């Protein structure tokens, strides 16, 4: 559910017309609905209100500091995966005691930064990382709170690129090695073992994989407590899917109904890391049609947004609905490829898509682009990054300015050997 809707054939975000926004900031641009983000966060928070929990928003989905501030104000924490994300979260005044640091490749510098910021815990992915955290903590006289990430070998039944809980995944510690790794962690001088972490994948559309994974983690927690290792936090990850096309993912309330009976059997504080399910359908990418081109076997609609703005279609062959900003009921329906200006055959937003034939100058809205849109953007082909706009009721706020050509070369220099 989102707050993008038509009034008299014109697409609006909340109470502001998309056409009006484009007149102010141009195209391409990202537009987010404050109301949708607020509602989606509270759908999660409210669904688990009877269980002690922390919602640690997975900020890799959308890390604009205005979005982070919005969520922090509602009581959210964050799941971070880099020093840069930690910096952003602190700038947005997210409480450090609601931050968890995940990722397989934390550097010593990032570990130190997180320790000095007093984050809640690290989600540890390997024995080598555990040793590194211990060494860094020892060097600055602190103890690091950690949860070990367990790979339960559960098939999340999603795209292989975003499946993270199978044996072949780079993430986590194999379940059959978990007891040994926890025993090692509990013996390290500057490590405090406080939790178990499990995240099996992203864009999940069924609750069964969550249930299976949680059962395995609960069994592990019982075994750890029998060995005298007190687990206070159980991190069940995120990954709940959204509707991009015809998916019917469960609502947070459905997920809660399925897993709450299991979670209530433990005394652990529960941590959840939703990202896409909070912001995915809260954002769109607006682009302008440049040209129509007839190929030998295809009709191409060439737009001014590209794979550097929204990578998901090129990377995952992901589907995003594309809607006209101004409906034209008389436009003939055609099967087209919507492609960008980048010099790559993989630069497309949609392939073989049936849609009303747009004309040069028309505006198109690429839907469900609030997650893994701008955060995966690049400057490929030296294209400036798009602006981001947040809409609240009838107010329009530019929360990131469009990059300029000067921004593209900031930090670069020509050495004097060419003088």
Residues with a known catalytic role = 343
Query: What are the structure tokens assigned to 413, written together?
Result: 């220099």
DSSP bridge pairs for 395: 392
Q: How far apart are CA 29 and CA 25, in angstroms?
A: 7
DSSP string spanning 113-176?
HHHHTT-SEEEE--HHHHHHHHHHHHHTT--EEEEEEEE------S-GGGB-SSTT-SSSEEGG
Cβ pair 100, 273 in contact under 8 A:
yes
Tokens 């407590």 locate to 225
Q: How far apart are CA 348 and CA 59, in angstroms?
A: 26
CB burial string 298-308: b at 16+ within 10 A, e below: eeebbbbbbbb
Those residues with Cβ within 8 angstroms of residue 187's Cβ, 6 or more apart along the chain or in another chain: none
Q: What are phi and psi of 25, to 5 degrees?
A: -120, -10
DSSP SS3 for 409: coil
Q: Which of 127, 68, 123, 96 is nearest to 272 (CA)?
A: 123
Helix 252-263, helix 34-47: angle, nearest 10: 30
DSSP string spanning 32-61?
EEHHHHHHHHHHHHHHTTTS-EEEEEETTS
Q: How far apart are CA 139 and CA 133, in angstroms?
A: 10
DSSP H helical ranges for 274-333: 276-279, 312-316
């Amino acid at each position: 559910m989102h707050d993008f809707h038509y009034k008299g054939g014109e697409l609006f975000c909340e109470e502001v017309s998309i056409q009006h926004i484009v007149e102010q900031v141009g195209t391409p641009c990202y537009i987010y609905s404050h109301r949708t983000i607020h509602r989606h966060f509270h759908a999660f928070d409210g669904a688990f209100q009877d269980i002690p929990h922390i919602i640690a928003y997975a900020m890799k989905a959308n890390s604009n500091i205005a979005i982070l501030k919005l969520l922090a104000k509602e009581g959210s924490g964050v799941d971070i995966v880099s020093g840069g994300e930690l910096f952003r979260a602190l700038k947005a005044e997210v409480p450090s005691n609601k931050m968890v640091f995940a990722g397989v490749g934390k550097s010593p510098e990032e570990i130190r930064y997180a320790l000095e910021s007093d984050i809640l815990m690290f989600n540890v992915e390997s024995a080598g990382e555990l040793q590194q955290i211990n060494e860094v903590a020892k060097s600055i006289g602190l103890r690091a709170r950690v949860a070990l990430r367990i790979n339960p070998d559960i098939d999340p039944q999603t795209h292989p690129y975003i499946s993270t809980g199978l044996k072949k995944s780079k993430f986590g510690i194999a379940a059959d090695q978990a007891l040994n790794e926890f025993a090692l962690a509990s013996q390290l001088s500057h490590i405090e073992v406080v939790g178990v972490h499990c995240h099996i994948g992203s864009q999940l559309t069924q609750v069964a994989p969550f249930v299976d994974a949680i059962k395995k983690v609960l069994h592990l927690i019982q075994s750890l407590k029998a060995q005298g290792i007190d687990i206070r936090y159980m991190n069940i990850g995120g990954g709940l899917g959204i509707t991009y096309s015809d998916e019917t993912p469960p609502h947070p309330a459905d997920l809660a109904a399925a897993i709450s009976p299991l979670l209530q059997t433990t005394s652990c504080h529960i941590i959840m890391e939703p990202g896409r399910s909070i912001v995915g359908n809260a954002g769109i990418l607006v682009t302008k049609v440049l040209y129509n081109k007839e190929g030998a076997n295809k009709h191409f609609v060439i737009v001014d947004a590209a794979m550097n703005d929204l990578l998901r279609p090129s990377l995952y062959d992901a589907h995003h609905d594309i809607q006209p900003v101004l409906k034209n009921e008389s436009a003939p329906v055609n099967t087209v490829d919507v492609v960008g200006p980048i010099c790559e055959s993989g630069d497309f937003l949609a392939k073989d898509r049936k849609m009303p034939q747009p004309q040069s100058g028309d505006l198109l809205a690429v839907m469900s682009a609030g997650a893994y849109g701008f955060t995966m953007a690049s400057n490929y082909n030296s294209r400036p990054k798009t602006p981001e706009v947040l809409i609240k009721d009838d107010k329009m706020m530019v929360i990131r300015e469009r990059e300029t050509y000067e921004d593209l070369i900031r930090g670069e220099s020509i050495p004097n050997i060419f003088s």
